[in-house]
Structure 1
């Protein structure tokens, strides 16, 4: 189990055991073939960068996961931003973010074009029928590995994990106050509290100013009213919605279908399906929605508005985490937050599973996927997803 190093304060990053180009290529690959949504993507990063390649320390990974849970926005993208920052600062965070997001963005834009040209994606129901349940197997396995590594045998952390997991599964939302409260409780249990400095306040003040400036400069003065509406709406989604894959879908549904009436119910469900069967961050569905509303410009602005707040809310507090993250009080706070985050991820698996496993065949798809990942060490997630898609095209017409 991770034991915090508290004897000295880290003031500058150590020499990286990899090049920036290697890290960018890794995230380009992950964004191209990384299926399974935020839970699975977070698990892949831990497996590949911490366990296998040892590019990122366990401590830095946990700091990044905790910060990603504390800030709103897409979990996997935020963790990627932070891991890029660890050794290469703002440049590393920026290049990693672009490499991670651009493959799935181009895919959803292409699917958006096909959707408009050919009148819908009728075949996608068959594909998603199997892929959705197979993905549940992937994220279940990833969540299990992440939880065991993060919590270990600490009973207090297991209690925190259980409470947050049950709450998330019951409410179908991730409650940021509960996650923050878990960090405070573990801090109080493990070390005497100290009054926080004004660092956090200045960080979030600077973040707000940066977001305002970014929003003002993202769309030129000559842009259409619709593009401005897209920018504002999706910036809200990126800046104020906690829980990523869980919470952002109902938020998007309320705004896209009910408030602005940009899409019909069925079109919105197709958009979510597109995000689930493409690799990379699930929240890239905003790019597909933006394309249907206003073409390539709409897709670009929607994606930028969604990810930019998460980017800023990661890199601005990052120096604070790098500089003060080894102090006892902060270490214990982060450990409690990380345990709560793992519980929220486990609860998310249950919530997503209810929507994807709807009958015996989908249950079989999920169990077979879980079995393959558990027993076959070289099992490839993209190959499993591709196989599930093919099976869906065969099985779905026979049942429906």
Structure 2
């Protein structure tokens, strides 16, 4: 890994780049990491191909939003902790400020019919987007591995039945697949544990936090969420639903769907929806605490192992553990589609909007999610105006 003395760019230039990317970087995590490769590796040649690949592998291995972690790692390459900290802040800050503004507008106009009409269409579109994301993630990550399919289906069914996301579901999936891949003897033991694993996963509970004040509860819950978001930022959606709606009751179901929609129409990481949720829950303080608590774990999971990742990151045991966790996370997303869909798809127009979004995303490879959300908002306005 290089040092700042050989960096072909200044720290100021890197911070300005991530400020710009965080301001106009639409398209979700896959698009964002693609922009970083195009801009920083191919065009500007600030980062080597090897450093980029190592950063991407670490971001996929560790919990946390993929694009944000890659940005933090890139900042670390030449400027260590200072670079990682400033790059991460610059990337997240623009979308955080945007969701704060949208939160203030939402609270102010919540009782007005046009605002409700906007989210009538948007909520249905979000279900379509999440459904396609779950389909693509399943197709890409699960493959034909029967053990991964088992973990995936248990997570999906558990999410549908309990309507609650569970940390131990992810950890259990990782340990189970690690046992499967370790040796033939352990594989037999893991197979014999299947009948015990299903009820244990379904009955497990994350448990509530002590009632030490709303901000303390917000911090503890979102820190827990940030520590167990693997892969796509959408993996956090079922986890947040279980805590924000079902456990704490900070938001109702419609407000939660609106929060997911806000994340879809803003640039930067999808996980920034936590800022909007925090604002609705406890104003500016709630937004700040929720965002810090969510992103700080992923910052630590990036900068602490970064110096050692070249040596240990490719070990089969670590990869198997992460593959198991990823299968559980994708299964939870698939289950969340059903749970959230029951709340947002409640009549023929919303069903048609959802199906149209699914068809569009399947047929048009370069369809932009923010554009889809905005069109759905207009359709919602028209339906409510004339129906």
TM-score, shorter chain, exceeding 0.5: yes
Q: Which residue number in structure 2 is paired with residue 199 of structure 1?
A: none
Counterparts of 1:385 and 1:235, CA distance in 2: 30
Match of 1:327 among 315, 319, 343: 315
Once the two structures are superposed, residues 34-77 of structure 1 have per-residue CA deviations (whole angstroms, 9 ceiling, x without a partner) of 47xxxxx3454577678999979788656534421xxxxxx53x
Q: Which runs of 5+ in 2 are unaligned?
A: 43-48, 185-211, 230-235
Once the two structures are superposed, residues 365-395 of structure 1 have per-residue CA deviations (whole angstroms, 9 ceiling, x without a partner) of 1111121121123322222111111001011
RMSD of aligned Cα (Å): 4.1
Counterparts of 1:257 and 1:158, CA distance in 2: 32
Q: Which residue number in structure 1 is paired with residue 62 of structure 2?
A: 67
Q: 1:328 to 1:250 in 2, by over 3 A?
A: closer
Match of 1:173 among 156, 159, 164: 164
Q: Which residue number in structure 2 is paired with residue 81 of structure 1?
A: 68
Q: Which residue number in structure 1 is paired with residue 188 of structure 2?
A: none
Q: 1:234 to 1:332 in 2, by over 3 A?
A: same
Alignment of 1:118-137 (within 5 A): 120-137=111-128
Deviation at 1:87, TM superposition (A): 4.2
Q: 1:348 to 1:388 in 2, by over 3 A?
A: same
Moved more, 126-135 or 162-171: 162-171
Q: Which residue number in structure 2 is paired with residue 344 of structure 1?
A: 332
Q: 1:342 to 1:250 in 2, by over 3 A?
A: closer
Alignment of 1:104-253 (within 5 A): 104-115=95-106, 120-192=111-183, 231-241=215-225, 244-253=236-245
Q: 1:253 to 1:350 in 2, by over 3 A?
A: closer
Deviation at 1:285, TM superposition (A): 5.0
Match of 1:273 among 249, 255, 258: 258
Counterparts of 1:333 and 1:299, CA distance in 2: 32
Counterparts of 2:342 and 2:306, CA distance in 1: 36
Contact persistence 2:124–2:345 (CA under 8 A): yes
Q: Which residue number in structure 2 is paired with residue 202 of structure 1?
A: none
Bigger RCO (CA 8 Å, 6+ sep) = 1
Once the two structures are superposed, residues 307-346 of structure 1 have per-residue CA deviations (whole angstroms, 9 ceiling, x without a partner) of 3344335543555555312112222222222222222222
Q: Which residue number in structure 2 is paired with residue 385 of structure 1?
A: 373
Counterparts of 1:256 and 1:340, CA distance in 2: 24
The aligned length equals 334
Contact persistence 1:238–1:308 (CA under 8 A): no
Deviation at 1:296, TM superposition (A): 4.6
Q: 1:92 to 1:163 in 2, by over 3 A?
A: farther
Alignment of 1:43-62 (within 5 A): 44-45=31-32, 61=56
SS for the counterpart of 1:173 is coil
SS for the counterpart of 2:62 is helix
Q: 1:250 to 1:82 in 2, by over 3 A?
A: same
Counterparts of 1:191 and 1:290, CA distance in 2: 42
Counterparts of 2:292 and 2:313, CA distance in 1: 29
Match of 1:102 among 82, 90, 93: 93
Contact persistence 2:127–2:341 (CA under 8 A): yes
SS for the counterpart of 2:237 is coil
Deviation at 1:85, TM superposition (A): 4.1
Moved more, 330-339 or 316-325: 316-325
Once the two structures are superposed, residues 171-200 of structure 1 have per-residue CA deviations (whole angstroms, 9 ceiling, x without a partner) of 22333223222222222222249xxxxxxx
Moved more, 287-296 or 132-141: 287-296
Match status 1:374 vs 2:362: yes
